[in-house]
Amino acid sequence: MNASLCAFQRHGLPAFDARLLELSRSAEPHVRDRARRVLANHPCGAARALAVEEHLASRADERTIDLFVANWRAGDEAILRSIAESFRGRALDELHGVVFSLASSFRAAGERAAGCADLALFVWDESPCSNCRVHAAELLAAMGAVPDWVAREAAHDARTEIRAAFARKP
């Protein structure tokens, strides 16, 4: 089953299958992780309910964040903030998955992410990963919410597209 789920991680199944919910609660971490990756592609109340349940039980991780993307509702930013804050200051190997999921969710959520400037700043501030930071920078720029300190720091970023986007005009 684990290998079969791998084929559908990026785009989901052709149609929602309720067995994904059972697999998303598997005791086997690899099965649970892949099932949640597949489930994250399907808009359904049960996926969102699972994400809220994981958050309330303090078991949230990057896959929990992924479950919100296709199921985003007004006010979910508060849950995402809470999840993000629970990871603040952790080792980079623990933090990167959460930061990457947040950054990816901004791109997938589009205009629904309009109230997430503080989460984009969390990604910018907590991650040295230029892939994550470019998503955060794009969201901040689109919102017109780039703090001066980010613009100054971006001028020295590893990514040329970030440096160019935030270059100070004389």
Q: Is the pLDDT of residue 103 over 90?
A: no
Q: What pTM value is reported for the model?
A: 0.81
Length in residues, the chain: 170
Spatial neighbors of 138 by CB under 8 A, at least 6 apart, are: 106, 107, 165
What does the pLDDT read at residue 168? 57
Tokens of 63: 């896959």
- What is the band of 91 on the pLDDT scale with cuts at 50, 70, 90? confident
**Contacts of the segment 118-121: beta carbons below 8 A, 24+ positions apart:** 118/81, 119/77, 119/80, 119/81, 119/84, 120/145, 121/147, 121/150
Q: How far apart are alpha carbons 25 and 10 in whole angstroms?
A: 19
What is the pLDDT confidence band of residue 25, given thresholds at 50, 70 and 90? very high
The pLDDT score that the predictor gives to residue 170 is 41
Percent of the chain with pLDDT over 90: 31
The mean per-residue pLDDT over the stretch 116-123 comes to 89
